[in-house]
Chain A
């Protein structure tokens, strides 16, 4: 069963626009961890943010912010004032306390045009 769903396949924006990436997850564990990773065209996987299931506080880190809502099992990610360097594939991932491996969504390709 798909544990992480990223419904958006591709998003294209013009520089300086905000971009919000959707992520819906499924788990039976009460303790779990959610992540966003970025994969730029060079191919490496870069850790961006992480949220624990017991902490629903939403935060902002630079141009990144996230909205974690347990009630809807969603963990959305926003890039504010996008830049061309933000062009990449963004993956949402879930790790459960009883099953430590990362389950990734299919990824959302973000293209930021100058």
Chain B
């Protein structure tokens, strides 16, 4: 079974440009999470979806960030306009519903390393 797939793996852009990160969750998983990892703040949740519906977006830093999940197999995280402080590694993770034993463990994609110049 393929794991969580993220693209691109690396992204370098200039301040003010729009950035779109993509994620394909593990087939059959109905929860999808976007996390960000920085040296200053560590790993933090940005937003998560259940059955394509956003459940908690309280971690989204500001209106420049938006996330969508148009179907069960695809999600995007968009930053517009990007700023140098957005430079980080962005992880996507997926899982089954909680309370189902080991199956609700969150499995992570390889991450997208974003650099905003």
Which chain A residues in 74-114 approach chain B with CB under 8 Å?
91, 95, 97, 99-107
Quick one: which of B33, B104, B107, B108 contacts A101, CB cutoff 8 A? B33
Report whether over half of chain B's contact residues are helix, strand or loop; otherwise say mixed.
Answer: strand
- What residues of chain B lie closer than 8 Å to A91, measured between beta carbons? 43
A107 touching B42 in the complex, CB below 8 Å, given contacts A45-B91, A100-B31, A100-B98: yes
A9 to B29, CA, bound (A): 34
| Contact flag A97-B99 (CB < 8 Å), given A35-B105, A43-B113 | yes
Count, chain B residues at interface, CB 8 A: 26
Q: Are A104 and B111 in contact (CB under 8 A)?
A: no
Give the CA-CA distance A60 to B91 in the complex, in Å: 29
The reply on B14 being an interface residue by CB < 8 A is: no
Interface residues in chain B, defined as those with a beta carbon under 8 Å from any beta carbon in chain A? 31, 33, 35, 42-45, 48, 55-56, 59, 89, 91, 93, 98-99, 102, 104-111, 113
